[in-house]
Structure formats: structure tokens, C-alpha cells
Chains A and B, each alone.
Chain A
Amino acid sequence: MSSLAPSRAAATASLLWALADDDFVLGFADSEWTGIAPHLEEDVAMSSMAQDELGHAAAYYRLLADLIDGDPDQLAYDRPASAFRHCRLVDHGRGDWARTMARRWLYDTANAVRLEALADSSDRPLAELVGKVRREESYHLAHDEAWIERLAGHPGEPRQRLIEALELVGPDAPSALAPLADEPALLAAGVLPVGGAELEARWLARLGPVLERTGLRLPPPAPAATAPATARSGHGPDFDALWSEFTSVRRLDPLATW
């Protein structure tokens, strides 16, 4: 059990839930491409990135388990769908390849900004883990940008599909960085060194050059994606289906090991 002050521990836990659930849900959704990605090398790349996200999620659940005296597998698999705290952006299902790439690019850029700030977190175990996560994520960002430019650069169906994908998932993109209800406590304790508003500004600055080069536009935010009360709740049918899939073995046999 943690020796942190109760309010700080609770706030840190809410941050870890967000980090863990984001990567866990995105990792599972992207793993659906294994075997059916557009080409073989992409299959390897996408499967690797999905595996990375699940690995990062497992490491965050481990920190959370240490903090609240739990078990990482139980935290990940024994919750009802409604208890997940992932952001609305990753709640969208994988859709077609353009949607998957739009979702990944928007999420990875937002996550990079968030992790850059957390590298200076006053929570040592979190800051140390984030240092390692960031090195791995640099490969993902390079991959995402290559695909966005490639799809955007082909007039006709590829570009059209990407535009439609951005129109669909773009309004929910700010949900990844929307302030948590516990943000004041996180900022006061230095666990989160930079607030959500500043993180969003940094994220938009990072998207800017790519949007400009490609002539793409990011639609305005959906109100639900920016409010702390709704940015990480109200999951849709895509997530219900995903939850049903990733908990199926656990529900069938809770004691199964391998």
C-alpha cells in the first residue's frame, strides 16, 4: 500500500487509470489488424505497435496495483465496460485503415505531449516508466506521420477516406488531453507538471505543420470531448464489442493461465 497522502494517491490513481485504459483499449483495437493489415510489412508494424501499447498499459496497471493494493490482471480484465476511463478518441472502433491511422496519429501526438510533461513528474516510478515509454513511442510517431502524408498525398479514395476519418474521430481528439477531475490535485502535487489546457495548446502546435503540409483540417472539438465529466465516459457500441472480446476468456475461465 502506498504511503502517499490520501488525496494525492487518489489523484495519481485517476491519472494512471487514464494512461492505462487509453493504451489498453487502443492496443486491443489495433491488434484486430493482425493478419489483415494492408500489406505484410504493415501487418508486422501494426502488430508491434499494438503490442507496445498493451505492454505500456500492463506497466501502468502495475503501478496502479502497487498504489491501490490490487492485481494488474484484475484491474484490466475484471471491470464492467462502463468502468473504463479511456478517452472518447480511442473509443471509436478501428473502422477502415484511414480511420485507424487518423485515430493513431491524433492519439500518439497527444500522448507524446502528455508523456513529455510526465517525464518530469514528482512521482518517481511513473517518471521512470514514462522515460522508457517515450523512446518506444518515437517509432510510432514516425510511422503515423508517414501514413498520414501518404494517404493525404493520393487524391481520390485514399485522401477522401482520410478526410472522412478525421471528420469522424477529430472532434473527439481533445478528449485525450482534457483535464481530469483531479487535475488541481495532480498539479499541486507535481504529479502532472503541466495542465490540460497547456498540453492541448502544445498538441495543436505539433499537429500544425503536418496539417499545413497536407492541406488537411482538424474539425472543431465536440463539447463532450473537452469536459472533464464526459471526456472519459459514455462509451459507445464499438467499445462494448471490444470489451466483450477482450474479456471473453477471462469470463469463461477466471483462473486460466498460460
Chain B
Amino acid sequence: MTTDLGPARSELRSGASAPPAVAAASDGAVGRAWRILAGIVDPEIPAISIVELGIVGDVRYAGNWLEIELLPTFIGCPALELVQATIGQRLEPLRLDPGLAIEQVVVTTSYAQPWTAERISPAGRAALRASGFAPPELTAAEALPPRATCPYCGSRRTILENAFGPTRCRSIHYCTDCRQPFEQFKDG
């Protein structure tokens, strides 16, 4: 049995850039899992993948188990169970591949290193903007009320309408320049 532990944990934890395993065309279970995960979109904002969003904390292969560790954006996010189920379904072909010797795919959640806005990749931030969502501001993440840049005209003259929005990870804003309401993806 080959044990592929994948990229070092420190590399995976390095933040917003694409996980090294995606770029490195490894044919191991971990590399293939990362590539499949990169194709799974967030159920509430389908413009962005769960990898771009940064909610995949780690992919580990050990003892015939493939473990996907998720970092929830918000603890009570009801989409989390859907994401977990989708991951299980999409990774099923890996489990069935006899060459990979995967007995079980487990999807766990962790708060050891909590999800924050910094985990959204540059591509993810661009994808959010393109679909009308302001990405979270990276400065003063703890400051309330959260500031937002209009995703339509780029203006900073925006007003927070509601720190709570249609889902737990979204707030509602208004641009006083282009007079558009818009949503921001909140820092968790």
C-alpha cells in the first residue's frame, strides 16, 4: 500500500492561493481529490468553488481513509451538510478505483484554524465580484460595521443596509454612486 500524505500541512495552511496539490499534477489520491473538489461549487453562490472559497482545509490519506477536512464559513451554515454529501458523491469514483486503495471517504469539520476571509483565493474574489458579490474586505476584518466596495462600479461610498442577509455568510449594502443594492460575502 502506498501512503500518500499529500502536501505538507503548512503548505495547505498557507492561505488564499490555490492548494499546491491542484497545481502539481500528482496522480495520487490526494491530488485527484483536490482536482475534483476544485470542481464542486458552493451551493449558495455557484459562481465560486469550495476550494476557491477556502473551506477545504486539508485533504489527507492515511490508513486507507481519505479525509476531507472542511472549515465552515459560519457554524450554523445549513449548506454544510449539502457540501459534505456532494463531496462524498463526487469522490465515490476514487473510492471505487482499486488502484487507490481507499476504503472510506470521510468528510470532517474543523475549527482548529477557523475559516476567515483571507482564505478566499484571488480567483475566488474575482468570481464573487463578477457575479455581483463584494468579496470581504481584507483589512480590519474585525471592524464593525463591515465596509464594502461596490462590485459594479468599484465605489467605496457604500452603506451597510443590514449586517445579516439572505444566508449566514452574506450582508446587504447599497452603493450611493451607482445606486445599486448589492451583497457582500461576510468575514466569518
Contacts and interface: CB of A to CB of B under 8 A. Distances in A.
Interface string B96-118: 00000000000000111011100
A133 interface: yes
A136 B74 contact: yes
Name the prevailing secondary structure of the B interface residues: loop
A51 B80 CA distance: 14
Contact of B164 (A44, A56, A128): A44
Contacts of B115: 132
Contacts, number: 68
B111 A132 contact: yes
B163 A54 contact: no
Contact of A52 (B114, B116, B168): B168
Contact of A135 (B110, B114, B161, B166): B114
A138 interface: yes
Interface of B: 72, 74-78, 110-112, 114-116, 142, 144-145, 161-166, 168, 172, 187-188
Contacts of A136: 74-75, 188
B172 to A, nearest CB: 8
Given A41-B162, A44-B162, A139-B144, A131 B111 contact: yes
Among B77, B111, B114, max chain A CB count under 10 A is at B111
Contacts of A41: 161-162, 164, 172
Q: How large is the interface on A (under 10, 10 to 19, 20 to 34, 35 or more residues)?
A: 20 to 34
A168 B138 CA distance: 42
Contacts of B162: 41, 44-45
30 contacts: A41-B164, A41-B172, A44-B164, A45-B162, A47-B164, A48-B164, A49-B164, A51-B76, A51-B78, A52-B75, A52-B168, A55-B74, A55-B76, A55-B77, A56-B75, A58-B75, A58-B76, A59-B75, A128-B112, A128-B114, A132-B75, A132-B111, A132-B114, A135-B114, A135-B116, A135-B142, A135-B188, A136-B74, A136-B75, A142-B144
Given A52-B168, A135-B188, A142-B163, 20 more contacts: A41-B161, A41-B164, A44-B166, A45-B162, A47-B164, A51-B168, A52-B75, A55-B77, A56-B75, A128-B114, A129-B75, A131-B111, A132-B72, A132-B114, A132-B115, A136-B188, A138-B142, A138-B144, A139-B144, A143-B164
Contacts of B72: 132
Interface in A35-73: 41, 44-45, 47-49, 51-56, 58-59
A56 B188 contact: no
A45 B164 contact: yes
B159 to A, nearest CB: 13
